[in-house]
Amino acid sequence: MLDTLQAPTTTSSMLRVEGLKAYYQMNYFGVRREVRAVDDVSLTINRNEIYGIAGESSSGKSSLIKTIAGAITPPLRVVEGSVKFDFAGRELDVYADPQAMKAARWQNLSYIMQGSMNVLNPVRRVKHAFHDFAFKHMGLSPSAFRARVEKHLQRIGLDPHVLESFPHQLSGGMRQRLTIALATVCEPDFIIADEPTTALDVLVQQDVLALIKDIQQRMGASIIFVTHDMTVHAAIADRIGIVYAGRLVEEGPTLDVFRRPQHPYTAHLISSLPRIGDNKKRSALPGKPPNLADPPSGCRFHPRCPLAVDKCTNENPPLEARLTGRVACWRAGEVQTA
Amino acid sequence: QDFIAGIPREEALIIQGPAAQNAEWFNLWAPGGGASNNGLQQLTADTFWFINPDGTGDAAWTNALASDKPIYNEDFTEMTVKLKEGIYWSDGVEFTADDVVYTVQTQMANPGMGWSAPFTVNVESVEATDRNTVVFTLNAPNSRFHTLFTVRWNAAWIMPKHVFEQVEDPLTYNNNPPVSLSAYQLHSYDSAGNWVIWKLRDDWERTSIGMTLSEAPEVKYVVYRNAGNPDARVIEQMNHNLDVINDIAPEGMFTIARDAGENTKYWFPGFPFAHPDPTLPSVLFNHQREPFADKDVRWALALLIDIRSVSMGSYRGAANLAALSTPPTGTAITDYYVPMQDWLANFELDTGDGAIKPYDPTISEQIAALVKPQWGDSIPSDTEELKRMFGFGWWKQDPAAATALLQKAGFSKNGNQWLKPDGTPFTIKLMVEGDNIPTLARAGTIIAQQWSMEGIQTTVDVAGPTNGQRLGGGDFDVAIYWTVETWGGHPDLSFFLESYHSDFIKQPGETQPPRNLTRWEDERLDAIIEANRTVNFDSPEVAQLGMDYLKLAVEEMPFIPLMAYNKFAPFDTTYWTGYPSAADPYSASGPFWSNLRYMIVALKAAQ
Amino acid sequence: MFKILRDMLRYNIEFAIGFVLTLSIFLFALAHFWAPLPDTAIYLLPPDMPPSAQYWFGTTSRGQDVLWQMSSAIWNTMLFGLTVTVLSRLLAVAVGMLSGYLGGRWDQALMTLNDTMIALPNIPILLLVYFVMRDSMSWPVLAATAALLGWNYDARLIRSVTLSLRNREFTRHAVFAGMSVPQILVRQHLPYVMPVIFFTAMNNLIWAIGLEVTLSVLGFSDINRPTIGGMIYWANQHQAIIAGIWWWIAFPIIAVVLLFLGLFLLAISVNEYIDPRSRLSRMGA
Amino acid sequence: MDGFAKYLGRRLFQFFLVIFLGVSLAFLITNLSPVDPVEQSVALMTNFGATDPRSVELMRQALQELYGLQGSMLDQYLAFWGRVIRGDFGPSLSAFPTPVMSLIMSALPWTIGLLTLSLVITWTLGNLLGALAGYYRSNLLLKLSGAAVMALHPVPAYIIGLCLLLAFGFIWPILPISGGAQMNLQPGLTLDYLRSLIVHGTLPALTLVLVGLGSWFISMRSLVSNIVTDDHVVYAELGGVSSNKIFSQYVARNALLPQLTGLALSLGNVFGGAVITEFLFNYPGVGRLMIQGIYRGDYALVLGVTTISIIAVAVAVFIIDLIYPLIDPRVRLS
Amino acid sequence: MSALLELRNVNKDYRIGGFFDSSTLHAVKNVSFTLDDSKPEIFTIVGESGSGKTTTARMILGNETPTSGSLRFMGQSITAIRSRAGKLKFMSKAQPIFQNPFEAFNPLSTIDYFLFSTARRFLGLRDKAAIDAATDKALHHVGLSLAEVRGRYSHELSGGQLQRIAVARALIPEPKLIVADEPVSMVDASLRMSIVNLFRDLRDRLGVSIIYITHDLSTAYYISDRVIIMYKGDVVESGVAQEVLGNPQHAYSKALSQAVLPPDPEAARKIIMAKIA
Ligand SMILES: Nc1ncnc2c1ncn2[C@@H]1O[C@H](COP(=O)(O)OP(=O)(O)OP(=O)(O)O)[C@@H](O)[C@H]1O
Ligand SMILES: Nc1ncnc2c1ncn2[C@@H]1O[C@H](COP(=O)(O)OP(=O)(O)OP(=O)(O)O)[C@@H](O)[C@H]1O
Ligand SMILES: [Mg+2]
Ligand SMILES: [Mg+2]
């Protein structure tokens, strides 16, 4: 298959996440809560690869990606596991070496948070943000730097005069593009993005996706991004990871995941996507989303799974390698493709 | 650096002054025309005569602009004044009888000027018969007309004709800078009102006070300085930045005595330190309000007071107690207090339950015993000396007699609560001014407590700035204030007594003229006042009539006299010596008294 | 309720300290009901005694035990301060929430009123009111007057909170659920305004007590009633600081500072407890 | 421009309404005051002297006329507005016939000098400390200074002032404790005079600073601790922006804007003066003037000060409302 | 045939801008359409963001007054409703559903308060049991029961459940019209289906008309009867959903439908790659 052949070799892995557990640990006046938002996730991302993460609302996607970006603040804490980058042979352990991590930010690694429309300082003009974030990494004179930024903005269809604006003077779409520009202007090796296109309407969304893809191709960067819009994954991701209740339940090349989902949850997800020209009734997933503070035993999907058997209730399926990807399901073989 | 820019400290006497509001104003004759306590009238104004409130006999009387005492005609309808010669205004113009005539006529023509009203009431005409003689023709006989020109604290000051003649409206003229008729003249002032500096006139000999001096006054500059609140005043004196303080709390005084003992002088060499002013703080009853019209009630309340606690609480024992209704100062001691001791000791009060003799002549010894633990040997043991320090005597606290008196007045007791004849509880609101006269506020709280403990619930009501108005308007039950002020240096009581005549008593709600704030009305009193009008100021009958009044006041107890108004006025001796004292009372000691000028010219530099 | 208290005591050291401080001062103030002498009694004890075993905090120059005076004074002052605070909170909440929620003409009218009150200088107005009322000026009247002057800044603050709530979806939803304006304000918005109320209450209390002291120092107070201001007033009348009777002023001030420290700690920890943000994360949203 | 004009019109209307309401209220209260200036003057003139009761009546009548206190309340009210519009508050009753305006004008420079200086210091220091304490939450030094400020906060102004007075006037007497400048020194732009102004202003200013620090500190700290969790700050931290820069440009700057409103309102309050402080240090400003006015029943003066204060605050609010959209880009007019 | 809702030439202008530069923004221009009383339908409004969809919805709900034009609901002008009683009456027939299910309920108050309040106010019920019964009935329409909801906070329920409860609440007064402004934009694909399926169900079982606002053309196609496409305040195309979306005519509608990415990697990738080139 085309996609399978394209999958890069594992030797040039850029990000390695191993056994990562990140929990929200809260203790308010004696009320203790532990939300296991990221529960034992391992994944690897290769050089020059776009990796998409999908999953239900509140399944822990943002938490996972925040943990990878080293952007966690209490109450979210890393309980176990490691996140390691490899920038051109330079190993960087996100949680072991905060100093090096700080140095790598924007230089090697940039991050676009969820709700990125609000990350610009409301009382300063946009140009200052570029200056603060990027100037020191570029080693350019101020005027050269400015020229570079303007050129970069033009590439994503923004007029340079937006630099002189205050954030509130710009539309949501423009701000979202600005943050993408901000995250890419230094041409980092690795970009982490959380729902970068959610606030955009379909027309703008298309532009932005094209932009991300373009940047990635030209800079040869790796990207990991989250969205629950499956069509976005379809459009740009090389590989997809599906998260359910804090766990990675399936992972594989995009085409395979769409065409031959291995996990019942993935299968349901894909089959519930409506498309124009087809209004055949689509069913919703029964039951309610799991509570991450008190997740179901065994396979976390079992209460809602049409294929669940006793084993699913009791034993947690490991994420096992399959033909083209990995899947965590006792009954993976029996999943019907939509 | 100098404490005062450009003026050597050792040439200046620094006196506590007020915060002047209209600092640019020096027109003494306009209402609100310049602060009255900043040296303007004390140092630059002059008039015919002065009485030293602490002096006795002839020593108390000074002819200032007048060369002699006033000369009345037979029926007191005409007064002639002879003026001294060789007196000049500070701008070199000579002072003459024309200035006097101008003063009287201008004020009569301009209602609203300070002495306009009394002149209008009294004077039919005034003329200068020659350069040095002025004759006043009066509307009606008045044997005390000269007192209008006799300074105790102040009096009708003479205006500079040559200045005011040029002025369109004497009421709105700021008289800045003022020409001076006395030994000092304006040097500079603070437009913010915190200080005024007066300078000795080069021609100081050409003034009524200068003429009497054999050598030049040593005080070249007199600085009236507002040094802030009482704490700041004490600190400033201890820092030698304030030579004369006027009025601080007893505790402030004691602090100075303790911490700056060597550098200070006071009226008495030690405890009780204070200068007794010829004013008489008393418990005032509003006679127009029930049940205070009843003499038995008033007497009962007097007998419920333990004066020793009042003395200790208000003045820390440093009070000069008064049982008679005139302040125990100046000539009153020899004229009234000493001669009346026997009468007081034998005075009998009918309580309705038998007669008692309420007077306690040993009170000063009792107080001495109370303060001895703190002041030790500085308290003399001589009883005569003690009487002059702490007063001659007062009424014994006698709850039993008070009970009898109240029952006689129809009151009854329910538990520990007195009920009025109509059956309602007898409660009292005791009004005090508060901050301005802290010692009286303190006395008020103690008396309130004593009455409350005896079953008459009393609360203290602080009137603050409305005090004067409420007293005048009769808007009080009981208050602590003074309704008696005297010359101090003269037995004549007309100073206050004249206004006690029943002719002047107002209906409730209307404003009573000053002095008779209790609105005490008594035919016997009227008779005394009328008799006094017909006798000459210096006649021996004056003291006789005074005694009649005092006896009447004891019997009637229209208000309860407490003590002289003692003022703590310590002097700093770092730069100046020769201050007046009880032993040498050549002048009053308060910086606001106009005869302070006699002290200033008498001071000697310390070095 | 009791469980919340227990949890807060156990799990929040700030609350615990604040609680202990406030409670002990409260108990101390409460104790004045059992004082050996009435709090208005004077000259029944030897004056000017420094702190000793017999008189822990010394005696005043008026022959009162500083300890018992303080006890009454704190009680009375807090009563005054709390009255002002509660009344002015009610006003601030009512005006702020109504004006923020109703908007339009109501908002303009209420904010004009608010600006007018802001522009009125407090001290002169209070003093003038004091003169006008004179005899009938009791502490509740004074408290009411102060409350009338003390709500305006906070109303603005509350208004801005309500303003932002007004555009939240749940507010529009509430309208379509048929809730009346009071229901929306009290049931839906008040929980968000609570932290502001708590926070401003602290400042308002300090302001009210400062006002009481200012008026007393200037001589406008009921001298029969022991208060913190009243103690300072009388100490002043006796030049206590100059005379070295420091205990007359120092102890009450220390007590006030401790009380406020306690209240402040309570306020921040209670705020943390009721703050929607922490409350939401506690609930797990 | 149209929108702006409309906004300005509405705002201007409100501005005048505020002044009208405030001043009317002040007039009403002042006129209910039982202190009668005529009686105060009569008392002043008859105090201590031997006065004939008959003449007191005359005096009273004359003064009533002189002070213009005849006529109904409404007449006086209308006359008052007539004068206010001309910027004249009539003659002071206690310092008759000096115009109230000139009394205020001579007190005003003192108060403005003292209060603006101390306000600027307080505002800057309070906000700086508050912002630092809110941002560097675990810094021990900041915690300690925060605790000190908090402990100072509830202490009444009078006590703070008195302690300073005692410390620097008595125990270690290095500073003047009373008045605005050295005696007998000509006001002017001389070095001596300026020096004198500064040493005399030190204690009152220090009192005001210590008194005022707390509330700025507290409000700034809470503003900052809210802002540090805002997305833009979190993001700047993730972006490796230096923490100095984050503190100054991302945190303090955003938090300062609302504090500017507070500053403007307090500047307006200059006219009310710092009553207690001026009273304590005998500082010749508006606060002391007003207290004297109240004590002496000079309601022309009290009303004058109150009116100017109302106008000043209203102007400050008005100006800040107008320029706020310019200084805070987030605010737009609706 | 009587009209349930009739919009005729509705316009809405906003004055926008800052201090010195202000201009007029025509948010909605000349919008007209009619919903039939006798034929319940799902009427969809699609369009890019800022095209005036929300503004239109707000005008229908009476939250915004049109600059010109008329809006009539069951024969009565919506803008003429002033009194509280009139508003309550209107609200009992027309109810909204909001975008974000977590925001639609106050996180600090229990959800049932909204339900009970609706029942009490619009059905005029006083009796506790009657209120419970009415609420429970409405919840059953969306596949829930009062027992599951009582005393809970919004965070204790899933987004899908919340959105269902929101619908149930809207159903309590037995409205004729539900206006749903982007009710599914915040939820994942699966939840999306459960809600739009519910809409269909309501139309068919309870005869409620639904105005469904979205920019997700796929779901629009999936459930709508009729659709209008808005662009910068104008209605650029309208008609039967399948026709309009399946075969758009207007240039903008075309662009829009082309921009919809298909949920198929090969096709989607092609569109993006074409864009890059
Ligand atoms: N600050 C927090 N405190 C406590 N719990 C949190 C916090 N933030 C998120 N959670 C919980 O962690 C879980 C995972 O949240 P996360 O934001 O990672 O989900 P997500 O998959 O990104 O969802 P969405 O699609 O809505 O963005 C959720 O159950 C959420 O309630
Ligand atoms: N209160 C308002 N004041 C000024 N402009 C407004 C206001 N409300 C909406 N607008 C403007 O009107 C236009 C239409 O807005 P509307 O919210 O109706 O669009 P929408 O189609 O719902 O967009 P979205 O898909 O983003 O929700 C937008 O340009 C918006 O900025
Ligand atoms: Mg997320
Ligand atoms: Mg919208």
Nearest Cα to Cα of residue A46 among A82, A7, A18: A7
The pLDDT-based confidence of C92 (bands split at 50, 70, 90) is very high
Token reading at D72: 């109904």
C61 touches C239 (CB < 8 A) = no
3-class SS of residue B536: coil
Question: What is the domain range of residue D224?
Answer: 104-286
Question: Does B have 3 or more CB contacts under 8 Å with E?
Answer: no
Higher pLDDT, A335 or D78: D78
Rg, Å, chain B Cα set: 25
C121 touches D291 (CB < 8 A) = no
Nearest alpha carbon, ligand 1 atom 7: A24
- Structural domain count, chain D: 1
Percent of chain E past pLDDT 90, that is, above it, reads 35
CATH classification of the domain holding D163? 1.10.3720.10
CATH classification of the domain holding A223? 3.40.50.300
Q: In B, residues 292-351, which contact C (CB 8 Å cutoff)?
A: 309, 312-313
* pLDDT of E22: 66
Please name the residue of chain C whose CA is at the shortest distance from the CA of residue A58: C285
Ligand nearest to the CA of E46: 2
In chain E, where are the structural domains located?
A: 3-276
List CB contacts (< 8 A) between E21 and chain D: 1
CA atoms within 13 A on the CB side of C203: 19
Instruction: Give the contacts of A258 (CB within 8 A, at least 6 positions apart).
Output: A230, A234, A270, E263, E264, E265
Q: How far apart are CA C249 and CA C241, in angstroms?
A: 8
Nearest alpha carbon, ligand 1 atom 6: A24
Higher pLDDT, A307 or C91: C91
Nearest alpha carbon, ligand 2 atom 1: E14
Q: How far apart are CA B219 and CA B605, in angstroms?
A: 8
B211 pLDDT above the threshold of 80: yes
C-D CB pairs within 8 A amount to 130
Token reading at E140: 């059953």
Token reading at B106: 């201008």
What is the arithmetic mean of pLDDT over B355-373? 92
Task: State in Å, rounded, how far the first CA of chain C is from the last one.
Answer: 23
Residue D136 located in a structural domain: yes
Instruction: Give the contacts of D163 (CB within 8 A, at least 6 positions apart).
Output: none
Tell me the per-residue pLDDT of A237-288, one tens digit each, with 9 for 90 and over.
Answer: 999 999 998 999 999 999 999 988 989 999 988 888 887 777 777 777 777 7
CB-CB under 8 Å, E157 with A206: no
- For residue B488, give the DSSP letter: S
CB-CB under 8 Å, C177 with E118: yes
Q: How far apart are CA E92 and CA C176, in angstroms?
A: 8
List CB contacts (< 8 A) between A185 and chain D: none
Higher pLDDT, D13 or B607: D13
CB-CB under 8 Å, C120 with D305: no
Largest CA distance in chain E: 68
B384 pLDDT above the threshold of 70: yes
The pLDDT-based confidence of B340 (bands split at 50, 70, 90) is very high
A279-288, B264-273, D196-205: least confidently modelled range: A279-288
CA of C165 vs chain D CAs: smallest distance (Å): 17
A8-22, A143-157, D21-35, E107-121: least confidently modelled range: A8-22
Which residues of chain A approach chain C closer than 8 Å at the C-beta? Answer: 26-31, 33, 35, 75, 293
Q: How far apart are CA E23 and CA E27, in angstroms?
A: 12
Q: How far apart are CA C77 and CA C208, in angstroms?
A: 9
Ligand nearest to the CA of A228: 1
Q: How far apart are CA E41 and CA E63, in angstroms?
A: 23
* pLDDT of A11: 53
Nearest Cα to Cα of residue A224 among A56, A106, A48: A48
C177 closest CB neighbour out of E61, E63, E114: E114
- Structural domain count, chain A: 1
Q: Does E277 touch chain A (CB under 8 A)?
A: no
Q: How far apart are CA B132 and CA B109, in angstroms?
A: 23
Please name the residue of chain D whose CA is at the shortest distance from the CA of residue C120: D310
Sheet holding E76-77, edge to edge: E22-36, E3-17, E68-73, E76-77
Nearest Cα to Cα of residue D233 among C137, A119, E76, B112: A119
Q: How far apart are CA C64 and CA C42, in angstroms?
A: 6
Nearest Cα to Cα of residue B494 among B539, B442, B546, B434: B546
Backbone angles phi, psi at D291, to 5 degrees: -60, -45
Please report, for residues B110, B275, E34, the alpha-carbon distance to residue E1 in angstroms, rounded to integers and kept in the order given.
97, 108, 11
Tell me the per-residue pLDDT of C13-51, one tens digit each, with 9 for 90 and over.
Answer: 888 999 999 999 999 999 999 988 888 888 888 888 999
What is the arithmetic mean of pLDDT over C95-101? 93
What is the arithmetic mean of pLDDT over B128-148? 92
List CB contacts (< 8 A) between A75 and chain C: 281
The pTM for the full model equals 0.88
* pLDDT of C90: 95
CA of E51 vs chain D CAs: smallest distance (Å): 20
CA of A184 vs chain D CAs: smallest distance (Å): 12
SS (H, E, C) chain A: CHHHHHCCCHHHEEEEEEEEEEEEEEEECCEEEEEEEEEEEEEEEECCCEEEEEECCCCCHHHHHHHHHCCCCCCEEEEEEEEEEEECCEEEECCCCHHHHHHHECCCEEEECCCHHHCCCCCCCHHHHHHHHHHHHHCCCHHHHHHHHHHHHHHCCCCHHHHHCCHHHCCHHHHHHHHHHHHHCCCCCEEEEECCCCCCCHHHHHHHHHHHHHHHHHHCCEEEEECCCHHHHHHHCCEEEEEECCEEEEEEEHHHHHHCCCCHHHHHHHHCCCECCECCCCCCCCCCCCCCCCCCCCCCCHHHCCCCCHHHHHCCCCCEECCCCEECCCCHHHCCCC
Please report, for residues C32, E201, E260, the alpha-carbon distance to residue A282 in angstroms, rounded to integers and kept in the order given.
76, 13, 19
* pLDDT of A1: 36
List CB contacts (< 8 A) between A105 and chain D: 238-240
Q: How far apart are CA B508 and CA B515, in angstroms?
A: 16
Q: Does E120 touch chain C (CB under 8 A)?
A: yes
Residue D20 located in a structural domain: no
Residue A308 located in a structural domain: no
D302 pLDDT above the threshold of 50: yes
Q: Does A155 touch chain D (CB under 8 A)?
A: no
CB-CB under 8 Å, E19 with D333: yes
Higher pLDDT, E115 or E161: E115
Q: Which residues pair with B459 in a beta bridge?
A: B429
List CB contacts (< 8 A) between C192 and chain E: 108
Residue carrying the six token digits 């990796």: A51
D274 touches D112 (CB < 8 A) = no
Residue D65 located in a structural domain: no
Q: Which residues pair with D184 in a beta bridge?
A: none
Q: How far apart are CA E32 and CA E235, in angstroms?
A: 8
Ligand nearest to the CA of A64: 1
CB-CB under 8 Å, A111 with D232: no
The pLDDT-based confidence of C283 (bands split at 50, 70, 90) is low
Higher pLDDT, A282 or C206: C206
Q: How far apart are CA C85 and CA C146, in angstroms?
A: 9
SS (H, E, C) B480-501: EEEEEECCCCCCCCHHHHHHHC
Q: How far apart are CA B371 and CA B359, in angstroms?
A: 22
Please name the residue of chain D whose CA is at the shortest distance from the CA of residue A119: D232
Give residue C70's identity as a one-letter amino acid code: M
Residue carrying the six token digits 């396979």: A299
The answer as to CATH 3.10.310.30 being correct for domain E3-276 is: no
**Burial of residue B93, with CB atoms counted within 10 A of its CB: 0-12 exposed, 13-18 middle, 19 or more buried:** middle
Tell me the per-residue pLDDT of E30-82, one tens digit each, with 9 for 90 and over.
Answer: 999 999 988 899 999 988 878 889 899 999 999 889 999 999 999 889 988 88
CB-CB under 8 Å, D333 with E18: yes
Pairing of strands E177-181, E209-214: parallel
Residue D82 located in a structural domain: no
What is the arithmetic mean of pLDDT over B172-177? 87
Nearest Cα to Cα of residue E241 among E257, E268, E222, E216: E222
Instruction: Give the contacts of B20 (CB within 8 A, at least 6 positions apart).
Output: B34, B35, B38, B193, B194, B196, B226
E10 touches E66 (CB < 8 A) = yes
Higher pLDDT, B523 or D239: B523
Q: Does E54 touch chain C (CB under 8 A)?
A: no
Q: What is the DSSP string of D13-37?
A: HHHHHHHHHHHHHHHHHHHH----H
- Secondary structure element (H or E) that encloses residue A326, with its range: strand A326-327
CA of C210 vs chain D CAs: smallest distance (Å): 5
- Of A20, A24, A33, A229, best ligand 1 pocket probe by most atoms within 8 Å of the beta carbon: A24
Q: How far apart are CA C96 and CA C151, in angstroms?
A: 9
Give residue D222's identity as a one-letter amino acid code: S
Question: What mean pLDDT value characterizes chain C?
Answer: 88
Q: How far apart are CA D89 and CA B175, in angstroms?
A: 23
Pairing of strands B359-360, A31-46: unpaired
Residue A229 located in a structural domain: yes
Token reading at B129: 């018969």
The domains located in chain C, with CATH, are: 23-283 (1.10.3720.10)
Nearest alpha carbon, ligand 2 atom 18: E52
Question: What mean pLDDT value characterizes chain D?
Answer: 83
The pLDDT-based confidence of E21 (bands split at 50, 70, 90) is low
Tell me the per-residue pLDDT of D311-321, one tens digit each, with 9 for 90 and over.
Answer: 888 888 888 88
Q: How far apart are CA C165 and CA C142, in angstroms?
A: 35
E265 touches A234 (CB < 8 A) = yes
Q: Which residues pair with B197 in a beta bridge?
A: B188, B223
Q: In tens digits, what is the pLDDT along chain A, a chain of 338 residues?
A: 334 334 444 457 889 999 999 998 877 666 777 888 899 999 999 988 999 999 887 788 889 999 999 888 878 889 999 999 988 778 888 888 888 888 888 888 899 887 767 788 888 888 999 999 888 888 889 999 999 999 888 877 788 888 888 888 787 778 888 888 888 888 888 999 988 887 677 887 888 888 888 888 888 889 999 988 888 999 999 999 999 989 999 999 999 999 889 899 999 888 888 877 777 777 777 777 788 888 888 899 998 888 888 888 998 899 888 878 899 988 887 776 54
Tell me the per-residue pLDDT of D93-128, one tens digit each, with 9 for 90 and over.
Answer: 777 778 889 888 888 889 888 988 899 999 999 999
